[in-house]
Amino acid sequence: MVLAEIEKLIEKYENAETTLIEETQLKNYFSQETVAPHLEIYKPMFAYFLDNQTERAARELPLKTKKTKPLYQWIAVAAIAIIMFGVYVANFGGKRTLDDLNTEERLAYNQAMEAFSLLSSNFNKGTESLAMMSQVSESLEMGSEQFSRLGKFDNTINRLFKIEE
């Protein structure tokens, strides 16, 4: 191969413009025993590339793909839908009153309000249960105070009758 052609290929290689065929030509040139003296610095690099081409892994590495759970995927889809709905309402919803709604929209509005009231009543039931739990907690605290008084009473009786433990 002509030396001028090799120098052009090296210049193209340094600019990352060579094709695979041209790189193969460079590897073949630098694998020879005799190389132009001013191109000797490239010989170890291309020899390294030739050696790496023949290397193979000692064993197969299994690829472990993580499968996401379908629940998380649906949660992500629901979150995106809520965000998109919020953006739509913020940009295109405008300020409308109940009088501006047509019959179909009013029906949808009324159904949504019924659903929200159902949710609200269920949440209120949960808060009532929590209120009951706080009453139980207060009763337990009062009981523990009464129990501590019993211990004081027990100590007093022991002192009166001089009972040693």
Per-domain residue ranges of the chain: 3-53, 97-165
The pLDDT score that the predictor gives to residue 163 is 60
Distance CA 50, CA 42 (A): 13
The pTM of the full predicted model, rounded to 2 decimals, is 0.35
What's the pLDDT band for 79 if we cut at 50, 70, 90? very high
- pLDDT of 161 above 80: no
Q: Which two tokens stand for residue 98?
A: 């109940």
- Tokens describing residue 116: 């929200």
Q: Rounded to whole angstroms, how far apart are CA atoms 144 and 8?
A: 94
